[in-house]
Structure 1
Amino acid sequence: MSCHFHQGNGVMPILFFKIILKTNLKSLKIPDNFALKHGSGLSNPVFLKPPDGTRWKVCLKKKNDQVWFEKGWEEFTQNYSLDHGCLVLFKYEGTTSSQFDVIIIDDSALEIDYSSYGNDDDDVSVQIAKEIHPYKKNKETMRGEKNVTTSLSLNWPREPRAREEAIKFVSNNPFFTVLLKAPHITQYLLCIPVLEGYVDNGVKNVKLEYRDRSWPVRMLSCNKTYSNRFFSAGWNLFAQENELKPGDVCVFELVNMQDLVFKVHVFAAHHA
């Protein structure tokens, strides 16, 4: 559904929304009436701009009078954990950059908390290696110990359970912590920190070690579309073969920087 309003001689922004289904998580068809009126004026790629200030580059497929969001759309849905029943509101102002402001409503009919998705390393993470972790400092001080343990945590999880495990985890190696959600298990991407200072940018082949086995996994680089990195090819197999579940907390410890080997520590979800 889409609509636009006239105000004097000007045109107000055009709004349309799409309900997210299992069938449009990888590509999304723009409403036909919008495509007929404005499709020819859209640049390719376009940019999606949520309220968190990020801009996501999405390539279009135009066929006859129909327009689809394709390359880049799946990364957008993955980052914000879009699933069946979510709603995305698009606002288009006809700008030369073909930018769409977007608002995401989850299946509870509330706008999502954008700060919980994807950009952990931009504003509230610990990030800087070898700094004293403030919570670990307090913990050690309360115990009366003289030597304060430093933390090489590369992110600062917002979710309480993940944060708790990150605080408790002690290692001489850099590590990051992720609370798994349903899309992390069923899809092929897992958003991870940039790993700046330990792994240079670029697509990498890494190994994930768990128990007595290892799995090869592809690590995608940062680019202008997104500021994080991702585990991609191989991640889904790792998650399935180790029966990872939503609610599990994973700590990824970089035990070999030369060969890019991560030892994975899994803290299972609490079940009633």
Structure 2
Amino acid sequence: MTSHLGQRSATIPIHFFKIILETNVERIKLPNKFTNRYGGSLPNPVSLRSSDFKEWVVYWTEKNGEVWFEKGWKEFVENYSLSYGYFVVFKYKGTSQIDVLILDKSALELDYLSSANGSVNPVNATEKEKNARPMPPSMVSSHQVFEETLMGNMERDSIVQRVHADKGVPSDKGTHVQQLIRPQCVNPTQSGNCLNLPRTLRARKISKRFKSRHAYFTLVIELSNLEENASKYVPKFLDNISSEKNVVLQMANRSSYAWYVKLLSGGERYDRFTSGWSIFAKESKLEAGDICIFELVEPAGPLLRVHVFRG
């Protein structure tokens, strides 16, 4: 940033906010008082990190002593469907990463999962994600899943990881199930309820028509969810996940197959499918625009049955 902007030190972290107007959806001016105090140390570009843990690279420019977020800002706005009256709080900590909190027109924090449209603006992943490797497709029988459930979650997770490592299940093929046993739902916390509000009208209609005695959530598949080593944010559907857990995904129309996918805790409202998700998406032939309903048929497993509605 040019030298005439503020160079003196000030208290870190510092917060400032901006209200979304029709005039600032493509670029937005930072408060003069902020740039006067912190302009000398503001990197270019910066990364905006929202509460769903996505990061967005945004470049600023200086014009007539005013600093504007320009390149990358429009993509950030479009991803969360920000419009007139939304309220964005920025937390600057003296680094290139600026945390953002988004409030919608109801004055509540944005439902990031329902609002995100899947735009891609990649930033370096966390070290944990960098070191992660996709789990094998791990197609296993529902009978095996049910037996492992009875062992208890901690022992089950350990056994699953050890078996997969020892047997070296190939990455492109799974083991066909010899016998199918349908496990029964064990006291779901929100039986028969949809756990999220889908972001598109079509997805909402499909979710509303879907009938189940189990808890379920509805997701829209985006192109970015189909890339190699992709992940997928999901509403929190388990109460007892502290950091990570293996879950089983079973296609409703291919119930003789199942996939292990790692679920990482993402906060109070969201978790994320990581290792194994891209393999599941590929082998299940998911496409951008598909609507998927994940039905929690076995919380203790946990086992999710996936219903796909083609786009």
Q: TM-score under structure 2 normalisation?
A: 0.46
Shift of 1:205: 1.3
**SS of match in other structure, 1:254:** strand
Picking from 81, 97, 105, the partner of 2:74 is 105
Tell me if the contact between 1:49 and 1:55 (Cα under 8 Å) persists in the aligned partners.
no
Change in Cα spacing, 1:118 to 1:257, as seen in structure 2 (3 Å) is same
Tell me if the contact between 2:214 and 2:297 (Cα under 8 Å) persists in the aligned partners.
yes
- Which residue identity does 2:277 align to in structure 1? W
**SS of match in other structure, 1:12:** helix
Picking from 274, 280, 301, the partner of 1:232 is 274
Shift of 1:54: 2.6
**SS of match in other structure, 2:246:** strand
Task: Extract unaligned runs of 5+ from structure 2.
Answer: 9-37, 61-70, 83-109, 116-188
Equivalent-residue separation in structure 2 for 1:6 and 1:154 (angstroms)? 52
2:241 pairs with 1:200: yes
- Which residue identity does 2:299 align to in structure 1? M
2:112 pairs with 1:119: yes
Partner of 1:66: none
**SS of match in other structure, 2:233:** strand
Picking from 182, 197, 212, the partner of 2:223 is 182
Equivalent-residue separation in structure 2 for 1:55 and 1:169 (angstroms)? 27
Picking from 130, 141, 163, the partner of 2:204 is 163
2:292 pairs with 1:247: no
Shift of 1:184: 0.6
Picking from 37, 51, 58, the partner of 1:89 is 58
Shift of 1:248: 0.3
Q: Which of structures 1 and 2 has the bigger CA Rg?
A: 2
2:39 pairs with 1:12: yes
Equivalent-residue separation in structure 1 for 2:52 and 2:202 (angstroms)? 29
Partner of 2:255: 212
Equivalent-residue separation in structure 1 for 2:287 and 2:51 (angstroms)? 29
- Structure number with greater CO (CA < 8 Å, separation at least 6) is 2
Shift of 1:119: 2.8
Tell me if the contact between 2:264 and 2:274 (Cα under 8 Å) persists in the aligned partners.
no
Shift of 1:196: 4.3
Give CA-to-partner distance per residue, 1:26-83, whole Å, 9 cap, x none.
xxxx9xxxxxxxxxxxxxxxxx544xx5385xxxxxxxxxxxxxxxxxxx36xx7xxx
Give 1 or 2: higher strand fraction: 1
Shift of 1:192: 0.7
**SS of match in other structure, 1:105:** helix
Task: Extract unaligned runs of 5+ from structure 1.
Answer: 18-29, 31-47, 57-75, 81-87, 92-101, 123-128, 131-149
2:253 pairs with 1:260: no
Matches within 5 A, 1:25-174: 48-50=47-49, 54=51, 56=53, 76=54, 88-90=57-59, 104-106=73-75, 111-114=77-80, 119-120=112-113, 130=190, 151-174=192-215
Tell me if the contact between 1:15 and 1:90 (Cα under 8 Å) persists in the aligned partners.
no
Q: TM-score under structure 1 normalisation?
A: 0.52
Change in Cα spacing, 1:160 to 1:216, as seen in structure 2 (3 Å) is same
- Which residue identity does 1:6 align to in structure 2? H
Change in Cα spacing, 1:214 to 1:220, as seen in structure 2 (3 Å) is same
